[in-house]
């Protein structure tokens, strides 16, 4: 009755096909906004070049070819890792983004850790004691929290912890070291201190959502027959709550979490701007201001890729860890 390795391969194949399809659509969208962002030649050459020269260059660059031909060329280069050169940096757009990737990753990891370590205990507590005053307070604050924009949280954090209390630096990434070959702020105190406020701000958008999600999932699980049976077996409450109920609660939360990591990337643009955090989001905003089209497109495609990869990985992990999903695939 167990699902064999073949089922897993088929499932994996389907998921990969889906992911490829989504990437294809993202690349198409990314490519087609090119025309809407102004004439790339103007960015390259300035105003003082004659119309004839301009046309010659257009032909040479293939800008007069039909859309599909241009897109095909774009795609074949893209799969080889070439998304064009940034107009501003005069370097491959992907390299420019890669330089900033670690900084953004640090922020996302910091925010994710904050979310996990706060939302799981709080969500559980509010589910176990739904009528206590702490739970009511948490629920009340979280509903307000959902509607506070990130930049307000960020400015409030800066005001309180940097300006008033002077505990935390208000901008920048701080010192970075590279004990494992990549430059990161994770491995020294100054880098970590700089990470605190931006991570809190970024986490603040998702935190209320996750507390509420975990609470409602867990409350539902606690009402189930198998939990009643666990009580009837005489298990102690911690085993019932934190093994029997929590494991069933977290499985659906993992899926939502995967999707939210993608959404969080979008919010890094705001957070990085407020804190002048030198990451991909900050870079993107600069690229928009400079109409650096290749860099904008490269950013969209990279973020799209991260989104698709995390979703696929989360889906696959979910299937592997959840025994009941394994047959669901089998039964169909």
Positions in the binding site for other proteins (CB under 8 A): 1-2, 223-226, 228-236, 239, 243-244, 247-248, 251, 322-324, 327
CA dihedral sign of residues 99, 100, 101, 106 = positive
d(CA 132, CA 184): 42
Q: Of 91 and 239, which has the nearer Cβ to other proteins?
A: 239
Q: Of 73 and 247, which has the nearer Cβ to other proteins?
A: 247
d(CA 29, CA 31): 5
Distance from chain centroid for Cα 44: 32
Minimum CB distance to other proteins, residue 215 (Å): 16
Tokens representing residue 9 in the block? 């391969």
Minimum CB distance to other proteins, residue 244 (Å): 5
Q: Of 2 and 51, which has the nearer Cβ to other proteins?
A: 2
Minimum CB distance to other proteins, residue 137 (Å): 22
Token pair 């990591």 is at which residue?
Answer: 261
Q: Which of 92, 104, 44 is nearest to 283 (CA)?
A: 104
The contacts of residue 67 (CB under 8 Å, 6+ apart) are: 32
Tokens representing residue 90 in the block? 């005069």
Minimum CB distance to other proteins, residue 312 (Å): 22
Minimum CB distance to other proteins, residue 228 (Å): 6
d(CA 114, CA 200): 7
Q: Of 222 and 274, which has the nearer Cβ to other proteins?
A: 222
Q: Of 215 and 244, which has the nearer Cβ to other proteins?
A: 244
């Amino acid at each position: 009755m167990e699902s064999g390795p073949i089922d897993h391969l088929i499932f994996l194949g389907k998921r990969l096909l889906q992911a490829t399809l989504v990437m294809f659509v993202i690349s198409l969208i990314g490519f087609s906004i090119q025309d809407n962002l102004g004439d790339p030649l103007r960015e390259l050459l300035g105003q003082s070049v004659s119309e004839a020269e301009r046309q010659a260059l257009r032909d040479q660059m293939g800008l007069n070819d039909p859309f599909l031909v241009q897109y095909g060329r774009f795609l074949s280069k893209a799969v080889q890792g070439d998304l064009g050169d940034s107009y501003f940096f005069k370097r491959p757009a992907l390299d420019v983004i890669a330089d900033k990737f670690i900084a953004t990753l640090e922020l996302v990891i910091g925010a994710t850790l904050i979310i996990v370590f706060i939302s799981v205990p709080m969500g559980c507590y509010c589910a176990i004691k739904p009528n206590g005053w702490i739970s009511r307070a948490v629920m009340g604050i979280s509903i307000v929290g959902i509607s506070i924009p990130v930049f307000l949280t960020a400015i409030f954090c800066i005001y309180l912890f940097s300006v008033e209390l002077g505990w935390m630096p208000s901008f920048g990434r701080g010192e970075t070291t590279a004990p494992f070959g990549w430059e990161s702020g994770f491995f020294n105190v100054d880098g970590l201190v700089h990470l605190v406020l931006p991570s809190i701000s970024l986490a603040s958008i998702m935190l209320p959502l996750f507390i509420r999600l975990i609470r409602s999932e867990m409350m539902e699980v606690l009402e189930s027959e198998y939990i009643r049976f666990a009580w009837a077996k005489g298990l102690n409450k911690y085993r019932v709550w934190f093994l029997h109920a929590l494991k069933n609660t977290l499985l659906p939360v993992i899926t939502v979490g995967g999707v939210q990591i993608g959404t969080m990337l979008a919010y890094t643009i705001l957070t990085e701007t407020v804190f002048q955090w030198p990451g991909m989001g900050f870079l993107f905003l600069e690229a928009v201001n400079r109409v650096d089209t290749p860099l904008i497109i490269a950013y969209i495609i990279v973020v799209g890729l991260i989104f698709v990869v995390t979703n696929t990985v989360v889906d696959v992990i979910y299937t592997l860890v959840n025994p009941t999903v394994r047959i669901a695939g089998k039964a169909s």
